[in-house]
Amino acid sequence: MTVFGGVEAGGTKFVCGVGTGPEDLEVVRIPTTRPEETIAQTVAFFRRHPEIEAVGIGSFGPVDLHPESPTFGYITSTPKAGWQNTDLGGEIRRALGVPTGFDTDVNAAALGEARWGAAQGVSDFVYLTVGTGVGGGIVAHGRVLHGLVHPELGHIRVPHDLARDPYPGICPAHGDCLEGLTSGPAMQARWGVPAVELPLDHAAWGLEAHYLALALTTWVCTLSPRLMLLGGGVMQQPHLFPIIRQELSRLLNGYVRAPEILEGLDRFVIPPQLGSRAGVLGALVLAQQAFEAAVPRTASPGIAVLHGENA
């Protein structure tokens, strides 16, 4: 088994891991301070593991994901002080000298869930995390969706129920976008206490489920996913899932006539399975992808012959 390194580069900590998968993953956590310091500590950790064949990085963003771009692998216009225009991918790749994969933190988490978690074998799904922020990754035709930049799922617009909820939303850019209405900080600002302290019968949960179900409705109609994973701090309240499913069913109103949606919402909207390790495990998948892109393919003997003929 090939051993890879993975980094979930977050705004408060870098979770670095080495291993072949969930069974043997060794993890360290490095506080996110200045880029030079944090990247140096990250590199030092991987240098203690010369057995790694490649490294993958799932980073907070926005990031540049286009291999042909001069700033590929950079953290670009982040609000995090000191981290704008940081060549995270390039610095780690040059320091370690191994193939290096790079994607967003949430795309990495989606890949982790696809390989080892709740989305194994699923070609088309949405991975959403609802916590301090709201974000996610989309897998379509078995590939993470990138496009022009990368998805910013937290910033879609959903109908704001102003009669029931006069709170204006907390997003500095958009006010009442999805993140502005449903993130942990939005719940705390709206209700005056952290979400985790709200009793189970508080009106907050029905409202939260309503907004999240509106977003899921929009993604069902846009992406036609086969599965939706909802994780993150706010979703640690298991009672939210049945309310969200019921509301999603009410909002779709039978329009999408697939048994997975008409009869199987309890398997269609579910929690992820890898918890806080989804990002670093997904980074191992990014490492493997970079590894396989860098070496001549040997999986198919036919293709190997072809390489030989062309060499």
In the complex, the residues that contact its own copies under the rule CB under 8 A are 62, 76-77, 124, 138, 140-141, 143, 145-160, 173-174, 177, 214, 217-219, 221-226, 251, 253-258, 260-261, 302-303, 305-306, 309-310
> Least CB distance from residue 270 to its own copies, whole Å?
15
Q: Can you list the pairs that 31-39 forms with residues at least 24 positions away whose Cβ atoms lie under 8 Å?
A: 32/80, 34/82, 35/82, 35/83, 35/86, 35/88, 38/14, 39/88, 39/91, 39/92, 39/95
> Least CB distance from residue 302 to its own copies, whole Å?
5
Closest to its own copies by CB, 32 or 104 = 104
Closest to its own copies by CB, 115 or 160 = 160
> Least CB distance from residue 225 to its own copies, whole Å?
6
Q: Output the CA–CA distances (angstroms, integers) from residue 40 to 206, 245, 279, in the order listed.
A: 45, 45, 20
How many whole angstroms separate alpha carbon 284 and alpha carbon 5?
A: 6
How many whole angstroms separate alpha carbon 147 and alpha carbon 151?
A: 8
Closest to its own copies by CB, 33 or 222 = 222
> Least CB distance from residue 45 to its own copies, whole Å?
31
Query: Which ranges of 136-277 would DSSP assign to H, the alpha helix?
Result: 178-182, 184-191, 203-223, 240-252, 259-262, 265-268
Closest to its own copies by CB, 51 or 309 = 309
Q: Contact 91/260 with Cβ under 8 angstroms?
A: no
CA angle 27, 40, 3 (to 5 degrees): 40
Closest to its own copies by CB, 47 or 307 = 307
> Least CB distance from residue 138 to its own copies, whole Å?
7
Closest to its own copies by CB, 55 or 118 = 118
Q: Contact 5/21 with Cβ under 8 angstroms?
A: no
| Residue 21 φ/ψ, nearest 5 degrees | 170, -165
Q: Contact 129/112 with Cβ under 8 angstroms?
A: no
Closest to its own copies by CB, 71 or 237 = 71
> Least CB distance from residue 116 to its own copies, whole Å?
22
Q: How far from chain centre, in Å, is Cα 214?
A: 20
> Least CB distance from residue 70 to its own copies, whole Å?
14
